Amino acid sequence: MMRKFGLIAVIAVVAAAAAGAQTLQDGFFFAQDDRFSSDGWRNQVVLEVKGGKITSANWNGTNIIPGVQDRKGYAASNSAAADWASQAQKAEQYLVGNQNINFNQYNDQGVTTAISGVTIPVKPFFDLVRKAASSNPVPKGIYNKDGWYFGIAPDFDPFGTKDTALITVVNGTIVDAIWNGVFRDANKSSKIVESNSGRYNMVRLGKARSEWHVQAAVGGAALVRAQDPTRIPVKADKKTDAVSGVSIMMKDFLDTANRALQPAR
């Protein structure tokens, strides 16, 4: 009788594994959180599928922190980011090893004991894995090298700010572009944070139609559509008529994005 129960248990485990390791469409897949977290980060996941199997998984993060590149890029100069990147790599390896996109062995805080060496919450990772796997593959784009590309304008503008660009490239395609900025005043946060917190007041003080962070999001989305910063025309006043909803000067962002993307070309 005990042997029979043991056989049933083994069958149940195999069935569960088979259910998780479903066959996927080949290609590159991308997903990201809908919004930035309270600490300024937004999770992203990139999957590569060959022969119906996940051959690589990349869990990274973008941010609205002043002058900081992607989370793994930040790891070189920040111990907390380095620890996160090391644990994220273990979660990636676990996924590639068992192919279970439906992994859910974590507690209410998203923390698991099933992946050795990982104490950070993994629920955001597996949520995005499922989201990416259920999306359409990212089409082949114009860039030769995938990755996260960060740039910052060389000089402060007359308002004491520098534009920044953080761009995500998957399968040669720009899938995300963040237009942000830093202040000369070190006591201030990024332009997105200052604007979103009501401390930039471009509508009230500058009579703009929408706040800076709103227009910057529209501008970033326009770059994703255009795929090449040079395809968005700008005028002598550094503004553009080509992007509806953006009345702020866009040239510095586009120039910064273009420089940041040079290693990807």
Q: What is the rounded distance in angstroms from the CA atom of residue 110 to the CA atom of residue 165?
A: 31
Tell which of 133, 158, 179 closes a domain: 133
Q: How confident is the model at residue 83 (pLDDT cuts 50, 70, 90)?
A: very high
Counting residues of the chain whose pLDDT is more than 70, the rounded percentage is 92
Quote the DSSP letter at residue 173: E
- Confidence (pTM): 0.91
Query: Which structural domain range is residue 73 located in?
Result: 22-133
Mean pLDDT of 109-113: 98
The answer to whether position 141 is within a domain reads: no
Tell which of 89, 107, 133 closes a domain: 133
CATH number of domain containing 158: 3.90.1010.20
Mean pLDDT of 171-184: 99
Q: Give CA separation, 151 vs 50, 58, 68, 168, 194, in Å.
A: 32, 21, 10, 12, 20
pLDDT tens, residue by residue, 153-175: 999 999 999 999 999 999 999 99
Contacts of 165 (CB under 8 A, 6+ apart): 149, 150, 151, 152, 177, 178, 179, 180, 253, 256, 257, 260
Q: Is 198 left (phi over 0), alpha (psi -120 to 50) or beta?
A: left
* Residues 154 and 258 reside in one and the same domain: yes
The answer to whether the beta carbons of residues 250 and 243 sit under 8 Å apart is yes
How many domains would you assign to the chain?
A: 2
* Residues 126 and 152 reside in one and the same domain: no
Tell which of 133, 156, 183 closes a domain: 133
The answer to whether position 106 is within a domain reads: yes
The answer to whether position 11 is within a domain reads: no
